[in-house]
Amino acid sequence: MFAVVAVVITMSKMATENHEHFVKESILEVQNITKEVNSPEGVLTILKNISLTINPGDVTSIVGPSGSGKTTLLAIMAGLDLPTIGTINLLGEEITRMNEDRRAQVRSKNVGFVFQSFHLLPRLTALDNIMLPLEILGDNQAREKSMSALSQMGLDKRALHLPNQLSGGEKQRVAIARAMVKEPTILLELLEIAKAISFPILIEPPVIKILFFLLMQLPKRYR
């Protein structure tokens, strides 16, 4: 089993004051979350009675082996999935009471999510993949902001490359740039640290240091 780290980063309090949805207290509240699914062996409990609070400027790590429920927890926190029991309050709104369309609206403006398998669109270049969320939001500076995000990741020369022309580490950096480019209030990222160390051919070892540096610097950029 791999050691996996789920990283949650939020804007600083000062940044949220200038954001569309200013929240005086916490950005995210997870209250008594339980997630159960049916399996051939019966009901499988993935998460049981999980509660946590994430405030502006926090950098939170959730550590555990593969299969322990971190991806499910992040998906529920982002409104990509719903718990069996419990509530999620994001930016003062209870997203567990919303329908999928409303949750999608909240996510598009406020949540950056880096998927474990990156989910880059294969027919779009690295630049186009990063531009996509900004174009959906109607940002007329999508190209400039996306090129800047690529530059921060050290991928200036990979802007016009398709995902199948990128290494595993480069794909991961593109995925993080895509999540960060719209300056979300909360950024959710899943890193397979042990996999990266044990199998460097899949994820380049230097990428781990780059990712953690960028992720740790993110709240400072928002102040």
Question: Is 7 a member of any domain?
Answer: yes
Residue 78 maps to a domain: yes
Domain membership flag for residue 74: yes
**Rounded to an integer, what distance in angstroms lies between the CA atom of residue 58 and that of residue 102?**
26
Which pTM value belongs to this model? 0.73
- Asked, for residue 211, whether it belongs to a domain, the answer is yes
The per-residue pLDDT for 4 is: 43
Domain presence at residue 136: no
Residue 28 · residue 53 · CB < 8 Å: yes
Note whether residue 32 is domain-resident.
yes
* Percent of the chain whose predicted confidence (pLDDT) is above 70: 74
**Residue 10 has what pLDDT?**
64
Q: What mean pLDDT is reported for the chain?
A: 79
Least confident of 41-50, 135-144, 214-223: 214-223
Counted domains in the chain: 1
Which range of residues forms the domain containing residue 59?
Answer: 3-120+183-222
Identify whether 41 is part of a domain: yes
DSSP state of 171: H
**Main-chain phi, psi angles of 86, to 5 degrees:** 110, 175
The answer to the question of residue 168 being in a domain is no
Q: Between these two residues, 10 and 150, which has the higher pLDDT value? A: 150
Q: How far apart are CA 203 and CA 161, in angstroms?
A: 18
